[in-house]
Structure 1
């Protein structure tokens, strides 16, 4: 069977929620215990992905439209910028229409690529209609896109906290990538309001987002919106 994309949307996902998320890690003695924190995060991922899977297509579309409106407000000037988005997976907000609109406004749109396991991501240019193949986890990646440096990375979240730390799928690819990129791109996490948790229990390797955009609004890390406004604002 060919690896070329025949179906744009990856398959579904379901897994049982873990009751560990119901108990605060400090109570369980997990603070400072990376193995325990990893296990707790696994439970949170399952819970949050299961919660996201309960959205109807109408609810998801409505919430995604809210995210797109807030992105437009936050990023009114994208012309000439290299912007990495993502291909929607496991019920994530589908921002491909926003990506197409950004491209129509003169942005160069990129998709992240896992070129090698446990190595930083690379970014390849992509426009609607360009050929895709299935990469890691069957997530589509550009076949012939040009490898470019991203100035802005929009990353989906499984969960997030008030300090703009992102809980992802656990592979560490985004953190590993942001740790080595020079210059470091601006990074925006996107998700739904209900994905906010008290804390992800950040560790030394966790890198906070510059902002989190949800259907409910925009949250800036430590109230510092200056870098995003300077590059993409009015």
Structure 2
């Protein structure tokens, strides 16, 4: 609390006059100085109490207050396997999902995984799409020196899936059916069903691997 300054009462003029007369007797004084002393004695004196005052700090209005918006990070859908696809000319989300998922119903899944809200405008030639858990993992063009075994090892890291790769691509005799330049579809093994009545037997002859188709018919 700030206390108000108290007002000291002025000395009576008679007392001031007596004091002035005594000073004049002891030491001469000019008229101007005498007039100043009389005016000072007649004016009230303000005595300030020695009380610390609380400093009030006004808020700084130089910088406007900004609203802070906290965004909740979006959670990207998970996938066991993700492959990349570069969008080509004339490709659409429909054609891409048909190629990798064999069904256009996966368009919403692919769009959500890639943050696409409007496929007509968001899908651009050359952009890289991430495809979660596709049914077709890749499209492989056979090169010189490649075999069914080497291609299987490249994509599945195991030669034991030659049978599934051959069945899915309609290969009965790898020695004659696999040709340079042909395109093989590399399927997700979950969609390949091996018929028990149609199997492939691996024959190893001098380091070369061949698959021979054996048809077994039920009696």
Kindly name which structure, 1 or 2, has the bigger radius of gyration based on alpha carbons: 2
Which TM-score bucket, shorter chain as reference?
A: under 0.3
TM-score (norm 2): 0.20
TM-score (norm 1): 0.19
